[in-house]
Structure 1
Amino acid sequence: MTSYQPYVMGIDGGGSGIRVVIVTPDLSIHGWSEGPTANPSVVGADAAAQIVQTAMKEALAAAGLSSSQIAAVGIGIAGAAARHSGDWLRAVVAEAAPDAICVPSADYEIALTGARGERCGVLVLAGTGSLAYGVNASGASALVGGWGFLLDDKGSGYWIGLQGLKAVVQAADGRAPETALSHTLLGALELRAPLELIPWLYRTEKVRTRDIAQLAPLVLAQAKQGDEAAIAIVKRAASELMLATQTVIRRLDLTTPEFAFAGGLLSTPNPLSEALCQSLGLKAIPAAHHPPVIGAALLALLSLR
């Protein structure tokens, strides 16, 4: 006679899209689905709820299961962390899986749990935004950053891209030395001169956050090529991420924390990830055990203990 193996669902609603997985406690995958971004700050709460519920139903169909067979659901959605959107997360899950235990989380918590294979350690994230998040052995957590591009996000893709554009305009004024960033960034934006940045940035209804963040890899590339302005930006970015990390370590009274990296800027070797590794005393980027969607499933499994 085989023992009962409950099914749990993990939901990762990252900035680029949503992923849903159905697993058993041995982490065998029985169903999977993907969809567009479910960030309510981007698409609106109603549209985000619909995207999540559709992805949940598609994963159930792929697994050949009914919603009543799901014991628990772990969910982390960018722009809807449990600390401020827990009720919304529970309501969204209840619509598609009313009998399941809901474990509302955050995109950074499921990223840490997946990368470490457990809810413990310190995550440093640098993508469009930035933050550091940690959990100690007693289960206490601390978050530093995650305030968004208007208030903070230092060391993020947006911040690095914006510092690159500032270097361009300062060089144009003569306040700073010439930099290869001028040609590279203006070319990427299909602008002919620095003055064209004014209408591009201010005379449009489009929010340029992502457009600016997409310039960050170009800044990193110029830093690797030896451009002094780009090198200075990367050093400041690494310093800001290190400060956030050290603050998490201090708040949680950690002595020898295990680290995880997340976000497009820290997932591959580049001047920023290499500088942060050096500051943290790491020989290489920490290898992740699992992706964030499995981290969400692990949190669901924890709720059944």
Structure 2
Amino acid sequence: MDYFIGIDGGGTKTAFTLYDENANVLDQIVLPSCHVLQTSKDQAIEILKQGVMTVLPDSVANDHVYIGCGLAGYGNDATLRKEIESRVAESFQGMHYRIANDAQIGLLGALEGSEGIFVIAGTGSMGLSYQNGQFKRVGGWGYTLGDEGSAYWLAKQLLQEYTKQVDGRKPRTALVDVLKNTCDLEDDYDIISFVNTKLANKRDHIASLAPIVYQLAQEDHDLAALEIYAKLAEELSSLIHSLAKDFNHPVHVSYTGGVWKGLSFIRPYLTLDDNVHLCAPKHDPCYGAYLLAKQLKDNRS
């Protein structure tokens, strides 16, 4: 019997799911991140080996194991790709494996292996399409150059709106008091030291403020929060339009990331062509990695 392992290795965790030939889930485990920029080579190898050995039944021959591995950082940087390939090769000796980017397995899982578009809006943002067996990406330039529509971008919009309302440059809404209460600020201007000191002006720390926009829209129907969602939808629409131009037939768009929790506030402002259809993800990224592993076996047969 052959076994298939789908691995989703992102910036916060590494998830392993064991499947049989018919995509039935046999076992799962979640371990710490093995991200190439966050772990040493030895740490990453230990995590990858531990995950595989934990989910596999005892006494399975390596030749009967097929692994699809989606890892963050496995992109256009040749140095990082080489380092990741070295780590994976040492982790899965004697097993059949295929490496992809974590965004690619996210798309394959969300669209069940079909062609289409995938939009990530988490701490960062990017768009990815899959057509004729090829992936194409837009966005994903990082928070200093882009990542429009991401949680970081959303939080920055919130903070900028706060400063404008405090100044009187824009009408004051519930946004100021909600942000002050959430961050435990006494004075309006305490936000400066809060961002620079408590949040250390770090991307992921600032991005953690993004859910406040959702709270304001959900609980207070705050006009400023809805304006921010309208701008966010414009940025996400831009990613989708850029990729949809390559399709001459109806295309499905799926998504992932915490920002999409506000879908009910984003959807009304998305400007999609008639042949572009937004759909909820069908499966998780591990399933997308399973499809890679299954394809690997089929190609060997």
TM-score under structure 2 length normalisation: 0.87
CA distance in 2, matches of 1:206, 1:223: 27
Distance apart, 1:207 and its partner CA: 5.1
From the superposition, tell whether residues 208 and 285 of structure 1 become closer, same or farther in structure 2 (CA, over 3 Å): same
1:185 is aligned, of 179, 185, 188, to 179
Give the corresponding residue for 2:32: 36
CA distance in 2, matches of 1:18, 1:243: 31
Give the corresponding residue for 2:113: 118
Give the number of aligned pairs: 295
Decide whether the 8 Å contact of 1:112 with 1:122 is kept in 2: yes
The secondary structure found in structure 1 opposite 2:189 is helix
Give the corresponding residue for 1:300: 293
The secondary structure found in structure 2 opposite 1:98 is coil
Give the corresponding residue for 1:51: 47
CA distance in 1, matches of 2:178, 2:41: 37
Distance apart, 1:292 and its partner CA: 0.5
Distance apart, 1:293 and its partner CA: 0.6
| Aligned AA (1:233) | I
CA distance in 1, matches of 2:97, 2:105: 14
Deviations 1:177-223 (A, max 9, x none): 21322112222222223322222222468453223222222212323
Q: Map 1:1-305 onto structure 2 (within 5 A).
A: 5-43=1-39, 47-60=43-56, 63-66=57-60, 68-78=62-72, 80-84=73-77, 85-136=80-131, 138-203=132-197, 206=200, 208-224=202-218, 225-250=220-245, 252-266=246-260, 269-273=263-267, 275-276=269-270, 279=272, 286-304=279-297, 305=299
CA distance in 1, matches of 2:276, 2:182: 33
Distance apart, 1:240 and its partner CA: 0.3
Distance apart, 1:67 and its partner CA: 6.5
The secondary structure found in structure 2 opposite 1:185 is helix
Distance apart, 1:265 and its partner CA: 2.1
Distance apart, 1:272 and its partner CA: 2.1
| Aligned AA (1:26) | N
Deviates more, 1:177-186 or 1:86-95: 86-95
Residue identity (%): 27
The secondary structure found in structure 1 opposite 2:133 is coil
The secondary structure found in structure 2 opposite 1:265 is helix
The secondary structure found in structure 2 opposite 1:241 is helix
CA distance in 1, matches of 2:37, 2:294: 28
TM-score under structure 1 length normalisation: 0.86
From the superposition, tell whether residues 184 and 49 of structure 1 become closer, same or farther in structure 2 (CA, over 3 Å): farther
CA distance in 2, matches of 1:124, 1:171: 31
Decide whether the 8 Å contact of 1:111 with 1:295 is kept in 2: yes
CA distance in 1, matches of 2:108, 2:39: 26
Root-mean-square deviation (CA), in Å? 2.6
CA distance in 1, matches of 2:278, 2:289: 22
Decide whether the 8 Å contact of 1:274 with 1:284 is kept in 2: no
Distance apart, 1:161 and its partner CA: 0.9
The secondary structure found in structure 2 opposite 1:109 is helix
Deviations 1:124-174 (A, max 9, x none): 1111111110011x2222101112212111111111111001111121222
Decide whether the 8 Å contact of 2:69 with 2:99 is kept in 1: yes
The secondary structure found in structure 1 opposite 2:141 is coil
From the superposition, tell whether residues 194 and 65 of structure 1 become closer, same or farther in structure 2 (CA, over 3 Å): farther
From the superposition, tell whether residues 245 and 67 of structure 1 become closer, same or farther in structure 2 (CA, over 3 Å): farther
| Aligned AA (2:264) | N
The secondary structure found in structure 2 opposite 1:194 is coil
> Gapped runs of 5+ residues in structure 1?
none
CA distance in 1, matches of 2:291, 2:124: 25
Distance apart, 1:109 and its partner CA: 0.7
Distance apart, 1:261 and its partner CA: 1.4
CA distance in 2, matches of 1:232, 1:209: 22
Distance apart, 1:48 and its partner CA: 4.1
From the superposition, tell whether residues 273 and 87 of structure 1 become closer, same or farther in structure 2 (CA, over 3 Å): farther
The secondary structure found in structure 1 opposite 2:279 is coil
Deviates more, 1:241-250 or 1:7-16: 7-16
Decide whether the 8 Å contact of 1:127 with 1:263 is kept in 2: yes
Distance apart, 1:121 and its partner CA: 1.0
| Aligned AA (2:232) | A
